Structure 1
Amino acid sequence: MKVCQKVRAKGTTTYNEVADELVAELCPPGAAASPDQQYEQKNIRRRVYDALNVLMAMQIISKERKRIQWLGLAAPPAEDSPDLEQEKADCRQRISEKTQQLKDLVLRQIAFKNLVERNKALEETEGPPEAGSSVQLPFLVVNTKKKTVIDCSISSDKREYLFNFNDTFEIHDDIEVLKRMGMTLGLDSGTCGEEDLGKAAAMLPPSLAAFIEQVALEAAGALDGPEPSPDRLDRPLDQLETTWESP
């Protein structure tokens, strides 16, 4: 760096000029006759020679006989910049997607563990559920108005279902229902208190403690979002009545 700075400041110079100045700067005066000092001066001159060869190989300087000319530091090609910016944006997008996936898995884990605890507590006080009164995971809830006409078609192998509605409707998966039931301890809605946060952290590996705090803070900061659409149904999903009819 010192050799580069010297040549850059001078513009045009020679090896001896650069070496002499660096020897004068780096070696204390009055000790030129000592063997150690002579060795140090020769070492500095060798380093200057090596540094000049490196700068010349990088086309930062040019050399013609004893004359050394400063050319300048090479700037990266302009066409590389958009590619690097795009690569950076792609990396940020992948990180964001992976973070969201981890958040979904964490909330699902907490919801399932809370559901298991709730069901165990209910069984201890009220006994096991009656046959046909429980819903198995995974499931989907279709929510619509009572007067909506629904046409349902089922494939022969019962692996595909086709629904047609003549009015608006909503479809919620099991994790959404568990969120509405409070099984995620308010981590998704920004209403998670200190006690619930500690309970949620205890359900996860210690390495995720900081992440769960981040999820809670982000959700709390998102409370000032847009109001829900008036077309959405206001009745909580955990209060919906389910009726099963034989085909």
Structure 2
Amino acid sequence: MSSGGMPGGAPTKIINVGASCQSNHGMNHTASHQENARNAVVERAAKKKRESRIIGGGLRQFSVIVCQKLQSKVRTTYNQVADEIIADFAGTHSDTIVPLESDEKNIRRRVYDALNVLMAMDIIARDKKEIWWKGLPETNMKDLEELKALRAEMMNRIGKKVAYMKDIEEQIVGLQNLMARNRQLLECGSASPEGRFSLPFLLVQFTLLLA
């Protein structure tokens, strides 16, 4: 009887249990690593989406929100505006957890940027911590009509100058063609003395305007 057989002469198939366990462990480790990577990607995407909602579509849209807050309060501070916008965001997005510290910092940074934009446009004024509303720039209808009339007048003047320059160009081209023709006749010897002009001479040109 051989050491590797069973009674009756049937060969025994020896399974390497250690190698099989090691292979399964490696597969499980790889699957776990892939799952962690997928979770990290999903988490980053969710965070980016949350930040984009906080920003409100961009600095322009966020400036409108800040502008509305300031207009309703007339006088306020930077912290009051930022705190109210953070509270409004938390109430609007009730499906999310209370805003994280990074989200609050992002909102406060956007409020600060929006305030600088509004100050540059002379819509608000600031003295130390206090901010007050000055008002949106008003466009008078009379001023608007005057600007439209001025624009129409300028466009009319530009059109006349363009037409004048085109007429001058046509005159120059005509004189150049006449000079080339006379030069060619002179070189060929076919120019008659009667057709010549003695210098200096006066050329008179007029334009007939039909009503």
Quick check: TM above 0.5? no
Name the TM tier (shorter chain). 0.3 to 0.5
Bigger radius of gyration, 1 or 2? 2
TM-score by length of 2: 0.44
How does the TM-score come out when normalised to structure 1?
Answer: 0.39
Higher RCO (CA-CA < 8 Å; seq separation 6+): 2
